[in-house]
């Protein structure tokens, strides 16, 4: 019997490895940026076209590679960061995988230009789908330029699974921001389709955060700094009043490497306990420095998950450090029984001399001297003694008081007594009345029994169809604001609002201007109050930021769902009888009244037969 196990060719093995290393264009961006940082670059440029599908180019001024190294870097298991297995537990670099460049070269057209500072000429290498095309000397500046063109050109199935350019660019920006936040001492620039998206000069950590997220980021940052034997923490956390619905501004860095860790996130959330609204997420940019031998960063293909030796200790330290910073900067209330705020010296009195009290003595004062008698009243003088005469008929003043204080007879509304259990008026009212149960359900009687309506889901369905109709027919009424409303968002959020501007204006929003830091709103839909504008837009951005639909109709549908979810009456809201009837009538005026926009039932029917069965037990 012939053998059925055989070794795979290198180009097939590289394509299989590429499935783990390269999931989308953002994966290539991450690998190339990390290699540039490991090369000691101080200036890194990222150039993308068509969200990385056509071109991803990273240019750095690092130390470059020799002719031999430039050729070897595309071989499998080739790396300059590891010599033995023990090095995996003492890593101080980023790109140690050894298969990244080989995997990228297997699924794209790759062009490498590199030169070391001491060399006169550099190397220019071209590889297409793991096939070596050419290598020749070239006149190049110091550093490396890595171009990846036509990603997944030889795997059309993988290319078809890529999302729209907007979504893929969003992932590229996310990875770019994570690398830029971890290295504030490096100048980063991002270009997309010829336009500059980010230009981040060398700065300190706080400036780097503000340059990336813009808006009022500087106002909401609270510094945190804690050093222990097993962990060093520095960075910033956000004030509770600036918390948002989404988790877009939450970053953990361990030894300058971005990670995701739900356990450490829980430590932050527990420190904010009692300071946040339901569903709100605080911002944090935390940099943890731990000994390399106490972590294992090789447990996940994308290296975004890390195994810690003692997670419980890290949890306790991180939680206490966060609570300490919130209390230290008067963000959270603290208990201090030894300090009296009334004894604090105002700043204006710190360098002022104390004023000593003075005593004034009246030397002419004689307590035994007789008071001078007042002269008799004359023309302009006033006499203190006035003669008061009582009215002759003083008893007439109290006439009528006795009758005023006597209790009068109380009258009660009489109830009509009828032979039936309910009167005719009550019976007529019961036919059309609605009732609210536990501030969650609306009960409405019908001929065959009763309807039990979920008020939140029903209102979502009503608002969803209204918004979808307004967006589709591009006509909606708007209420103008007396004073325009200014809202601050990050650069990514403002770019998304700019893209959705026309659709939002069809729902009733009126935008005066959208700048690089804020948005100015002068009008809003009739169904939205001024206090709800920021909530609606934040929820919309949160819902659409990760997965924006490809087609415009799906995008409009997602917008209508998000706005309906934000504005619908919530469970626990008291509704008047008129509001209950409006929800019932409008629900059954919808095209699809049985389910909410999220395919959840809006009502159930309870027939008389069902009630009879309950009582027949």
Long-range contact set of residues 242-245: C-beta below 8 Å, sequence gap at least 24:
242/216, 242/283, 243/276, 243/277, 243/280, 243/281, 243/282, 243/283, 244/280, 244/281, 244/283, 244/538, 244/542, 245/279, 245/280, 245/281, 245/538, 245/539, 245/542
Could you report the per-residue pLDDT of 422-468, keeping only the tens digit for each? 444 544 444 457 888 888 999 988 888 888 999 999 999 999 888 88
Give the mean pLDDT of the chain. 80
Handedness of CA 84, 86, 91, 92 (dihedral sign): negative
Q: Token match 């971005």: residue?
A: 258
At residue 519, φ and ψ (nearest 5 deg) are -130, 135
pLDDT at 545: 65
Q: Is 190 exposed, middle or buried (0-12, 13-18, 19+ CB in 10 A)?
A: buried
| SS3 state of residue 178 | helix
- Centre a 10 Å sphere on the Cβ of residue 437 and count the other Cβ atoms it contains: 10
Q: How many CA within 13 A on the CB side of residue 92? A: 3
Tell how far CA 127 is from the center of its chain. Answer: 42
DSSP class of 50: G
CA distances from 49 to 21, 169, 384 (A): 21, 10, 100
| pLDDT tens by residue, 110-142 | 999 999 998 999 999 999 988 889 999 999 999
Task: Count Cβ atoms below 10 Å from residue 333 Cβ, excluding itself.
Answer: 10
Sign of CA dihedral 436, 437, 438, 440: negative
Helix-, strand-, coil-residue percentages of the chain, each rounded to 5: 35, 20, 40
Q: Structural domains in the chain?
A: 10-200 (3.30.565.10), 205-328 (3.30.230.10), 441-604 (3.30.1370.100)
Overall pTM > 0.75: no
pLDDT in tens, 305-316: 777 888 888 999
What whole-number distance in Å separates Cα of residue 445 and Cα of residue 442? 10
pLDDT per residue over 207-252, tens digit each?
999 988 876 788 889 999 998 888 899 999 998 888 887 777 899 9
363-370 average pLDDT score: 79
Contact 285, 256 (CB under 8 A): no
């Amino acid at each position: 019997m012939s053998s059925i196990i055989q070794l795979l060719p290198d180009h097939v093995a590289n394509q299989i490895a590429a499935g783990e290393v390269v999931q989308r264009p953002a994966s290539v961006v991450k690998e190339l940026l990390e290699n540039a940082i490991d090369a000691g670059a101080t200036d890194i440029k990222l150039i993308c076209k068509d969200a990385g599908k056509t071109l991803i180019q990273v240019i750095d001024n690092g130390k470059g590679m020799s002719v031999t190294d430039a050729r070897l870097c595309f071989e499998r298991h080739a790396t300059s960061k590891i010599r033995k297995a023990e090095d995996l537990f003492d890593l101080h670099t980023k790109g140690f995988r050894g298969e990244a460049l080989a995997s990228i070269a297997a699924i794209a057209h790759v062009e490498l230009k590199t030169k070391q500072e001491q060399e006169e000429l550099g190397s220019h290498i071209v590889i297409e789908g793991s096939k070596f095309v050419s290598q020749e000397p070239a006149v190049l500046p110091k550093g490396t330029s890595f171009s990846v063109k036509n990603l997944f050109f030889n795997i059309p199935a993988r290319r078809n699974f890529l999302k729209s350019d907007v979504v893929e660019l969003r992932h590229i920006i996310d990875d770019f921001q994570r690398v830029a936040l971890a290295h504030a001492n490096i100048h980063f620039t991002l270009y997309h389709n010829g336009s500059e998206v980010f230009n981040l000069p060398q700065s300190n950590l706080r400036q780097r955060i503000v340059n990336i997220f813009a808006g009022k980021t500087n106002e909401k940052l609270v510094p945190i700094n804690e050093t222990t034997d097993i962990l060093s923490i520095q960075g910033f956390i956000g004030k509770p009043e600036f918390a948002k619905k989404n988790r877009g501004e939450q970053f953990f860095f361990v030894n300058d490497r971005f990670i995701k860790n739900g356990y450490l996130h829980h430590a932050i959330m527990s420190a904010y306990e009692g300071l946040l609204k339901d569903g709100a997420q605080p911002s944090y940019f935390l940099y943890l420095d731990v000994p390399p031998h106490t972590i294992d960063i090789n447990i996940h293909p994308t290296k975004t998950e890390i195994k810690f030796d003692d997670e419980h200790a890290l949890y306790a330290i991180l939680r206490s450090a966060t609570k300490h910073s919130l209390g230290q900067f008067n963000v959270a209330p603290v208990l201090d029984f030894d300090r009296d705020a009334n004894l604090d010296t105002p700043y204006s009195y710190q360098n002022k001399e104390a004023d000593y009290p003075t005593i004034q003595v009246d030397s002419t004062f004689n307590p035994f001297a007789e008071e001078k008698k007042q002269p008799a009243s004359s023309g302009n003088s006033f006499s203190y003694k006035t003669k008061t005469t009582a009215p002759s008929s003083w008893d007439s003043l109290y006439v009528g008081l006795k009758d005023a204080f006597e209790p009068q007879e109380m009258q009660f509304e009489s109830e009509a007594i009828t032979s039936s259990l309910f009167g005719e008026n009550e019976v007529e009212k019961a036919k059309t009345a609605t009732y609210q149960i536990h501030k969650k359900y609306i009960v409405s009687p019908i001929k065959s029994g009763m309807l039990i309506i979920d008020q939140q889901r029903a209102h979502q369905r009503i608002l969803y169809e209204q918004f979808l109709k307004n967006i589709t027919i591009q006509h909606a009424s708007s209420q103008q604001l007396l004073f325009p409303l200014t809202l601050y968002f990050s650069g990514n959020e403002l770019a998304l609002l700019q893209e959705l501007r026309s659709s939002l204006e069809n729902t009733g929003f009126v935008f005066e201007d959208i700048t690089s830091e804020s948005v100015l709103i002068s009008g809003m839909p009739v169904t939205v109050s001024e206090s709800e504008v920021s909530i609606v837009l934040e929820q919309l951005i949160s819902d659409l930021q990760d997965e924006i639909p490809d087609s415009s109709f799906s995008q409009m549908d997602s917008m209508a769902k998000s706005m309906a979810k934000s504005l619908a009456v919530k469970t626990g809201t008291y509704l008047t009888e008129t509001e209950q009837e409006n929800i019932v009538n409008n629900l059954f005026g919808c095209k699809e009244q049985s389910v909410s926009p999220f395919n959840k039932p809006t009502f159930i029917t309870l027939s008389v037969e069902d009630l009879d069965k309950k009582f027949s037990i």
